[in-house]
């Protein structure tokens, strides 16, 4: 049972860590990265809630959540690979010799395609689960809610086939990208800039690293999960709606109280979450966002803060500037430092007289309320 505790901690931690990079991708409008980030977050939230809710038992304590959770699992299993395929397709378009300046219309069309594939196919997979769903859901000890299925042609066509299909297409796109980069490695920056895609060389490398690393790790995981799903679905059956759904009245919920050992499929959500954070969590934009959030938190934690009934700021600073000149240089630093530290003292800043005696003296006064 304790072997699942690291999974719970890592799932919760990755939800927090990937919130910043995903927010930045929304600001940049990178449709492929946004799609993948959304599915990564959903997978980690789903894993965290399931493992912490069914930590040590397999009681049917949240049936409504399980109805939602099993659909989400079917969705992000397909959605993550579909998103990586969209990223690989975008990178291949950038390095293609036919690449031209990307216009706003091109970006809009690419976003429509990426979102249609990354969310449309997974949503269709989730909706079609009812066709081959023999039970409402299964609850596995320590793992939580899991979907059930019987092997038939709808199972193969509507669930099993999609992850390998997207993985193969993404591998083909990535192979082409690697070929083009190796061929033009001396003009790498020129090739990236030739498409005018607003991608810098660093951003291109991060997207490529995410795509290639996920394919290197995700494709084996996909093959492993596909084989596991086929094995768990038992033998192939001729499809019959009545036979497939006959267990809904007898055993709508399958309970598995036998302790299980975490395997590759259990760690898959953690691995993908780490890959996403490694690709986007250390970029210049993400670091700037972290710095901005840290600065806001520092401002809110002002020294000498009072109780809720009083003002949260105990230091009242008043800055009066007489005249139309501005304060800069060492004097401006001194004024800002006085405001931040609370060690205020009156001081004067004077500038040389301007032409025709138009210049004025500037007096800067910083006062501190005595508490």
Report how far apart, in Å, the C-alpha atoms of 100 and of each of 86, 131, 187, 191, 196 are: 19, 45, 17, 11, 8
Claim to verify: residue 148 and residue 249 sit in the same structural domain: yes
Residue 60 has a pLDDT of 92
Q: Which domain holds residue 359?
A: 317-368
Residues 6+ away with beta carbon under 8 Å from 308 = none
133 neighbors 245 (Cβ within 8 angstroms): yes
pLDDT tens for residues 69-87?
999 999 999 999 999 999 9
pLDDT tens for residues 89-114?
988 888 877 666 667 888 899 999 99
Claim to verify: residue 196 and residue 288 sit in the same structural domain: yes
Interhelix angle 264-280/19-28, rounded to 10 degrees, is 50
335 CB-side CA count, 13 A:
18
DSSP reduced 3-state for 319: strand
Residue 199 has a pLDDT of 61
Claim to verify: residue 63 and residue 182 sit in the same structural domain: yes
Claim to verify: residue 76 and residue 126 sit in the same structural domain: yes
Claim to verify: residue 338 and residue 265 sit in the same structural domain: no
Spatial separation of the C-alpha atoms in residues 198 and 189, rounded to whole Å: 13
Spatial separation of the C-alpha atoms in residues 110 and 94, rounded to whole Å: 12
* Residue pointed to by tokens 């230091």: 315
b/e for 116-140, b at 16 or more Cβ within 10 A? Answer: ebbbebbeebbebbebbbbbbbbbb
Claim to verify: residue 283 and residue 321 sit in the same structural domain: no
Residue 202 has a pLDDT of 73
Task: Provide the domain count of the chain.
Answer: 2
207 neighbors 195 (Cβ within 8 angstroms): no
Claim to verify: residue 22 and residue 159 sit in the same structural domain: yes
Claim to verify: residue 352 and residue 260 sit in the same structural domain: no
Claim to verify: residue 335 and residue 274 sit in the same structural domain: no
User: Maximum Cα–Cα distance for the chain, whole Å?
Assistant: 99
Average pLDDT over residues 125-136: 92
Claim to verify: residue 24 and residue 98 sit in the same structural domain: yes
Residue 238 domain flag: yes
Residue 307 domain flag: no
In this prediction the pTM is 0.74
Residue 290 domain flag: yes
Residue 173 domain flag: yes
DSSP reduced 3-state for 352: coil
Residue 299 domain flag: no
Residue 99 has a pLDDT of 60
User: Residue 133's domain is classified under what CATH number?
Assistant: 1.20.1070.10
Top pLDDT among 328 and 231 is at 231
Spatial separation of the C-alpha atoms in residues 70 and 133, rounded to whole Å: 11
Claim to verify: residue 11 and residue 159 sit in the same structural domain: yes
Spatial separation of the C-alpha atoms in residues 248 and 245, rounded to whole Å: 6
Residue 190 domain flag: yes
pLDDT tens for residues 309-363?
444 333 333 333 333 433 433 443 344 444 334 444 444 444 444 444 444 444 4
Claim to verify: residue 283 and residue 336 sit in the same structural domain: no
* Percentage of the chain exceeding pLDDT 90: 32
- Edge-to-edge, what's the strand order for the sheet holding 144-146? 144-146, 137-140, 253-256
pLDDT tens for residues 233-280?
667 778 889 888 888 888 899 999 888 888 888 888 999 999 899 888
Residue 304 domain flag: no
- Compute, in degrees rounded to 10, the torsion defined by CA atoms 291, 297, 303, 305: 170
Spatial separation of the C-alpha atoms in residues 339 and 10, rounded to whole Å: 41
Residue 312 domain flag: no
């Amino acid at each position: 049972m304790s072997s699942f505790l690291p999974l719970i901690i890592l799932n919760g931690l990755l939800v927090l860590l990937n919130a910043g990079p995903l927010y930045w991708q929304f600001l940049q409008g990178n449709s492929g990265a946004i799609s993948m980030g959304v599915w990564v977050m959903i997978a980690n939230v789903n894993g965290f809630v399931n493992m912490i809710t069914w930590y040590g038992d397999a009681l049917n304590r949240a049936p409504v959540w399980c109805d939602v959770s099993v659909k989400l699992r079917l969705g992000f299993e397909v959605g993550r690979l579909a998103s990586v395929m969209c990223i690989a397709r975008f990178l291949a378009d950038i390095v293609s010799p036919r690449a031209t300046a990307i216009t706003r219309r091109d970006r809009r069309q690419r976003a429509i395609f990426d979102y249609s594939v990354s969310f449309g196919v997974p949503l269709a997979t989730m909706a079609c689960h009812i066709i081959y769903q023999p039970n409402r859901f299964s609850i596995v000890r320590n793992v939580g809610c899991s979907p059930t299925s019987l092997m038939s042609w709808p199972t193969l066509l509507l669930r099993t086939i999609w992850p390998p299909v997207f993985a193969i297409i993404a591998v083909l796109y990535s192979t082409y990208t690697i070929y083009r980069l190796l061929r033009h490695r001396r003009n790498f920056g020129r090739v990236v800039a030739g498409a005018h895609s607003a991608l810098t060389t660093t951003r291109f490398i991060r997207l490529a690293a995410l795509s290639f690393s996920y394919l290197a790790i995700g494709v084996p995981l996909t093959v492993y999960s596909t084989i596991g799903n086929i094995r768990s679905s038992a033998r192939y059956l001729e499809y019959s709606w009545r036979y497939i759904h006959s267990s809904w009245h007898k055993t709508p919920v399958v309970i598995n109280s036998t302790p299980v050992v975490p395997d590759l499929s259990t760690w898959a959500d953690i691995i993908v979450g780490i890959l996403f954070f490694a690709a986007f969590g250390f970029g210049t934009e993400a670091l700037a966002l972290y710095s901005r959030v840290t600065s806001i938190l520092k401002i809110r934690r002002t020294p000498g803060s009072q109780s809720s009934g009083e003002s949260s700021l105990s230091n009242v600073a008043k800055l009066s500037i007489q005249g139309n000149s501005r304060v800069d240089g060492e004097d401006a630093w001194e004024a800002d430092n006085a405001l931040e530290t609370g060690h205020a003292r009156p001081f004067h800043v004077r500038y040389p007289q301007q032409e025709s005696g138009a210049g004025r003296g500037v007096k800067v006064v910083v006062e501190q309320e005595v508490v």
